[in-house]
Amino acid sequence: MVLNGMHLVALLAAFFAVAALGRVMARALRTPTVIGEIALSILLGPVLLAAFGKSLFTAVLPADVTAVLKQIGEAGLVLFLVGVVHHLDRGVTGGWHGKALGRITIGAFALPLLTGLAFAAWAVWLAPAEVRGTAPTAALVLVLAVAMSVTAVPVLARILEERSDLGRASGLSMMASVLIDTPAWLLLTVALGLAAGGLGGVWLAFATIGVGVVIAWLGRRALGSERVGNVAAERPRTTALVLAVVALAAGTAVHSLGLTAIFGAFLAGVVVPRDEAWSRVVALVSRVGRAFVPVFFVVAGTTLSTSGVSAFPWIGVALALALGVLGKIGGGYAGARWGGEDAVTSLRIGVLVNTRGLTEIVVLQIAFTAGLLTPGLFVALLVMALVTTALTGPLLDVITRRAGAARQEVLV
């Protein structure tokens, strides 16, 4: 028991070191730090397996320790997403309204859904059997459509914090991403329900969400009282601990019903009122969860490496990347132009909503764990998520330089 505990602590320390190295590499390459962190964490398992062989790999990551790591990683992800949901909830009541926002949202959601359907058509009818897998067709089509349509709000928020040169594109892209991800998560719920129990699973999923919404509404009213708010302000760490326990309990309860524990985080995030004291509490919970998210991705990479990819799906990667860029940049640009924005702002919006990052990879891992995605499809969409997110900064720089050059020509 003591040795297993020391083994676990040593592995966690190693995972944190790998994540830190990924962040350093990402900064050197001027890409979002989360990209380096995710990439190195996911690659750790396959690299260890390739370098040391299966016997040593199993000794370093035995099944019992990996099971504990999986629980730690999922708990960290749940706690981190409490903060993400709280941020989304705050964003919905923000100041960006009107024709432009609605049309950007439509463009950046509808076209990616269509490109997702095109990718699904390839996966179902043209891809090799080992890439297509045995998932129910309807569930597979839905999850691929969702994978093409989501935007990584946490990563996008971090990018926007570092850029002060984007003008209206910042607020419009953030709000559109918030509005996009809500129906995307609902569609993922439907896909998981179809995979778990057909239409019966879908009804169970929506019934669970309906009950959760009622509980969240009642809980929000209770937490919004002045007395409870004063406790949160005076004892933020104790309140954060209670909130973390509630979020994990909600995740466990939802998981027991056949859904992903991630939806427990959504319920906990919605419960928390939108004020300064509670925002500090949520930040504490999310910060602790964020520290353990790399463990989630290491386990994902380990699972992927042991599942095996018979051949790298080059066609799937190229198709996913082309359709992913077309859907998001094209849809965001078209929606912004439809909403009356100028060409430069529209291009920036298209590039920003093309940021998939953490949210996309969470969706992929959920679908992979549920058996909806084969290792081949997971790899193709993972590469697409990392590349599209890494492109965000360089593409914004190109747009800014060209816009500046065009203004100089006009002045001359």
217 Cα distance to chain centroid: 25
Cβ–Cβ under 8 Å, residues 354 and 324: yes
Strand residue runs (E) in 317-358: none
Tokens for 98?
């009107």
Ranges in the chain, pLDDT < 70: 1-4, 49-50, 52, 87-98, 161, 197-202, 204-206, 208-209, 257-263, 304-312, 405-412
Domain 2-411 belongs in CATH node 1.20.1530.20: yes
CA distance 92 to 108: 17
- What is the rounded CA–CA span in Å between residue 87 and residue 17? 28
User: How many angstroms separate the CA atoms of 287 and 291, rounded?
Assistant: 6
Q: Residue 214's pLDDT is what?
A: 80
State the helix-helix crossing angle for 168-223 and 343-353, rounded to 10 degrees.
50
- Indicate the domain borders of the chain: 2-411
Count the Cβ atoms, other than its own, within 10 Å of residue 344: 17
Do residues 45 and 301 make contact, with C-beta atoms less than 8 angstroms apart? yes
What pLDDT, on the 0 to 100 scale, is given for residue 94?
A: 44
Specify the pLDDT at position 95. Answer: 45
The beta-carbon contacts of 158-167 under 8 Å, at least 24 apart in sequence, are 158/32, 158/33, 158/34, 159/32, 159/352, 159/355, 159/392, 159/393, 160/352, 163/396, 165/400, 166/348, 166/352, 166/396, 167/345, 167/348
Q: What is the pLDDT of residue 98?
A: 62
3-state secondary structure at position 385: helix
Instruction: Encode pLDDT of 278-288 as tens digits.
Output: 888 888 998 88
The C-alpha atoms of residue 247 and residue 70 are separated, in whole angstroms, by 17
**pLDDT for position 310:** 58
CA-nearest of 91, 79, 94 to 283 is: 79
CB 189 within 8 A of CB 209: yes
Q: Where are the alpha helices (DSSP H) in 122-167?
A: 129-132, 137-149, 153-162
pLDDT score for 317: 93
pTM of the predicted structure, to 2 decimals: 0.78
* Amino acid in the structure at residue 248: L
Quote the CA–CA distance of 35 and 306 in Å, as a whole number. 23
Given this model, what pLDDT does residue 380 score? 92
97 conformational bin, left if phi > 0, alpha if psi -120 to 50, beta if neither: beta
